[in-house]
Structure 1
Amino acid sequence: MSASKFKTICVFCGSSLGKKKSYQDAAIDIAKKLVMKNIDLVYEGGNIVLMGLISQTVFDGGRHVLGVIPKPLMDKEITSVTIGKLKPVANIHQRKAEMNLHSDAFIAMLVSGYGTLEELFEVITWAQLAIRNKPIGLLNIDGYYNSLLSFIDQAVEEGFIKPSAHHIIASASNAKELIEELKDYYPCHKEVTVKLN
């Protein structure tokens, strides 16, 4: 898949700043790379901290921004000014469906809570079952995802994840390399015979 085929990328990111300035720098960097490559953004809808940095930078760069947020989270994660188009939905399940509908690929950076981690693993599961074969990348800033990647390695070694599904996730330590990895992404797991819709 060439870079031009990525019209929109969904970015999962933290709803807090984290303790390192490098996290904020990475959020701005990934946003600038999306703008440079004429890629629109779908994200989790909040306009605070890292989510706000990414969405504002992409929006200021002239790209389309779509935030999808469950109504119960709006008071917590949105200030008075919205960025781009905001689509309120009833719950997390609807948010995941909408983000998938409007995205060509997924990037996870600085997943900060159980909910966002669950969203990431759902798109990984979709890929494993060949329900959807959209590229999935981890932006591994300062080794943030090393433990998760080690867990996946161990799960493969212990026989709980098939070796053919081991490389569903692309990873890189910076935005430029990760987008290149996603360009070359091809599902290398074995597709299941029956696809669930």
Structure 2
Amino acid sequence: MKSICVYCGANFNGDPVLRAAVENLAQAFVDQEIRLIYGGGSVGVMGIISNEVMQRKGQVTGVIPQFLLDLEVGNQEVTELIVTENMHQRKQKMADLAEGFIILPGGFGTLEEFFEVLTWLQLGLHNKAVGVLNIGGFYDHLFAQLDVMVEHKMLKPANRALVVDAAEPLELLQKMKSFQASPESVWYKDRDLT
């Protein structure tokens, strides 16, 4: 993988464990010559990951809609900053540029982006790994909810297995590099859609 899109929060709670994990992820990107694709922001966890990769002489492409750039939250100190007309174009561009996706702690937007690319994977629209860096158990409750969906037969076990997760950046990257979606995970397989 030469490019990974990272979805993360525009807020940062000051957690030193989170900051250290983001710094370790940035170092892993630089060491493995992976370009960071992200939402183009200069604030929160987005600002930290982009700045850490840049400080280590890595490559960063930010993708930001014009209205957020107008609010002065865009990071002008990245390798490349792509400005889109709206959020839909932003998300599509980020997905197109990436060879995989990593989810860091964040809020509504992070979860929305996570579920969108995960749904696209389930629908067979791409075959890119979707990884969750579960720092300090941040996403434990989300994983528990996914398990509830399987238990209630609203989600197939093969679809649940599409979520790659680890607590450490290097472990997550290794899992993502060996990821291969099973044919059973494609939503419409083995279904009578008539």
Q: What is the TM-score normalised by the length of structure 1?
A: 0.89
Q: Offset of 1:189 from its aligned partner? A: 5.0
- Of 54, 57, 64, 1:69 maps to 64
Q: Secondary structure at the match of 1:62?
A: coil
Q: In the TM superposition, what are the counterparts of 1:93-104 in structure 2 within 5 Å?
A: 93-104=88-99
For residue 3 of structure 1, what is the aligned residue in structure 2?
none
For residue 134 of structure 2, what is the aligned residue in structure 1?
140
CA distance in 1, matches of 2:132, 2:177: 14
Q: Is the 8 A contact 1:47 1:83 kept in 2?
A: no
Root-mean-square deviation (CA, aligned residues, Å) is: 1.5
Q: Which runs of 5+ in 1 are unaligned?
A: 1-5
Deviations 1:2-50 (A, max 9, x none): xxxx010000111111242111111111111110111111001101232
**After TM superposition, where is structure 1 displaced by more than 4 Å over at least 4 residues in a row?**
none
For residue 116 of structure 2, what is the aligned residue in structure 1?
122
- Of 52, 56, 60, 2:55 maps to 60
Q: Is the 8 A contact 1:12 1:120 kept in 2?
A: yes
- CA gap of 1:155–1:93, structure 2 versus 1, over 3 A, is same
Deviations 1:92-139 (A, max 9, x none): 111111011110000000122x12211110000001011111000000
Q: What is the TM-score normalised by the length of structure 2?
A: 0.90
CA distance in 1, matches of 2:8, 2:109: 11
Q: Which runs of 5+ in 2 are unaligned?
A: 190-194
Q: How many percent of aligned residue pairs carry the same amino acid?
A: 34
Q: Is the 8 A contact 2:64 2:74 kept in 1?
A: no
Q: Offset of 1:58 from its aligned partner? A: 1.4
Q: Is the 8 A contact 1:168 1:189 kept in 2?
A: no
CA distance in 1, matches of 2:59, 2:14: 29
CA distance in 2, matches of 1:105, 1:93: 19
Does residue 27 of the first structure (1) align with residue 22 of the second (2)?
yes
Q: Secondary structure at the match of 1:77?
A: coil
For residue 174 of structure 1, what is the aligned residue in structure 2?
168
